[in-house]
């Protein structure tokens, strides 16, 4: 007779532990989730706007203002891409932007990964002409969305 109550207690303990584990797991969304696009296959289009929508908008927002759905999960504020030129002396430097996108050069952006492994996996693999076209078109698109410098009233 004693075996049955012990097994019931064991089952009850297992249910309680499982319930507690589930409750703790339900609370983890309050923490910042890990965001990665590496498992997503590259899109077919090489158009800058299409690539922006597929790879950049999740963090930078569809309008480029840094308000994408994953922005709250980032450790640092997501930059407004429409003000890149304003923040760099009124000049849009395509090479600098390309280095940021690919994670290459001396200005690698931690959020974008490093040259060998950008956050998007092979989507911007700089070793193939197709990807160079993709990167070039993305940079041109980003240049096209730059806001004009604010005018000062004298």
Residue 114: inside a domain: yes
Q: Report which of 122, 103, 105 is spatially closest to residue 113, judged by C-alpha positions.
A: 103
Digit-coded pLDDT (tens) for 53-80? 998 999 999 999 999 999 998 888 899 9
- Cα separations in angstroms, 24 against 18, 21, 28, 87, 116: 10, 5, 7, 42, 36
Q: Residue 38 falls within a domain, yes or no?
A: no
Tell me how far CA of residue 86 lies from CA of 3, 75, 148, 151, in angstroms: 75, 23, 8, 12
- Residue 39 inside a domain? The answer is no
What's CA 87's distance to the chain center, in Å?
Answer: 21
pLDDT, tens digit, 9 for 90 and up, residues 74-121: 888 899 999 999 999 999 999 999 888 887 766 556 666 655 445 666
Residue 2 domain-assigned? no
126: in domain? yes
Q: How many residues does the chain have?
A: 154
Residue ranges in the chain assigned as alpha helix (H) = 3-27, 48-51, 57-60, 84-87, 94-102, 129-144
Would 54 be classed as within a structural domain? yes
- CA atoms of 91 and 33, how far apart (whole Å): 35
Q: What is the DSSP string of 23-53?
A: HHHHHGGGSPPP---TTSPPPS---HHHHII
Range of the domain at 139: 48-144
CATH number at residue 91: 1.10.760
| Phi, psi for residue 114 in degrees, rounded to 5 | -115, 175
> With bands split at pLDDT 50, 70 and 90, how would you rate the model's confidence at 8?
low
Q: Report the DSSP beta bridge partners of residue 113.
A: 118
Q: Is residue 62 part of a domain?
A: yes
What pLDDT is stored for residue 148 in this prediction?
84
Q: First and final CA of the chain: distance in angstroms?
A: 94
Which two three-digit tokens encode residue 39? Answer: 């498992």
Per-residue pLDDT at 149 exceeds 50: yes
In a domain, 138, yes or no: yes
The total domain count for the chain is 1
């Amino acid at each position: 007779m004693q075996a049955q109550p012990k097994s019931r207690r064991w089952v009850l303990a297992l249910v309680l532990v499982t319930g507690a584990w589930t409750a703790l797991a339900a609370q983890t969304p309050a923490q910042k989730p890990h965001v990665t696009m590496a498992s997503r296959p590259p899109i077919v289009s090489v158009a800058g706007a299409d690539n922006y929508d597929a790879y950049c908008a999740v963090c930078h927002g569809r309008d480029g203002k840094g308000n994408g759905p994953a922005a709250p999960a980032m450790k640092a504020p997501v930059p407004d891409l429409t003000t890149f030129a304003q923040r760099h002396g009124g000049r849009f430097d395509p090479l600098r932007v390309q280095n940021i996108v690919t994670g290459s050069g001396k200005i690698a952006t931690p959020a974008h990964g490093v040259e060998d492994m950008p956050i998007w996996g092979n989507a911007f693999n700089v070793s193939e002409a197709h990807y160079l076209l993709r990167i070039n078109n993305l940079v041109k698109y980003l240049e096209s969305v730059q806001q004009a410098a604010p005018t000062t009233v004298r």
